[in-house]
Structure 1
């Protein structure tokens, strides 16, 4: 059974969605801590322990970038 060249990996959409949410949530968390506004995707604050908001925002943004890179890599497999 061969896949068509345009078929994407099934996890590409999941990795892209989760990576986008983590990236935007991490950046939003950092902006909120530094400037006191822009509380976007505030539900992600429950993932970070109290007192570690800046480190948590950096980690979420980095994980989001990594997941977006994985999604791009998974999308590239269908083109080979």
Structure 2
């Protein structure tokens, strides 16, 4: 299922987002880039980078964290001010 990215009023953004990574690649004509990460590696990217990961098929633990920084003078997104829940939709 493809859906549009949330966007500010008055703008038009037609980039697709889907759980089907191949469909996103086919529609955009762009390949997914990947690397072979090792335990202890850290990945840092721009907040506008669409990213994904494959399922972990081993007994190894995968830990993920989300750090966001914003200038004190900027308004923060209220969605990120609540504790995370597995069913919160984000």
TM bracket, shorter-chain basis: under 0.3
TM-score (norm 2): 0.20
> Is the helix fraction higher in 1 or 2?
1
Which has the bigger relative contact order, CA under 8 A and spacing at least 6? 1
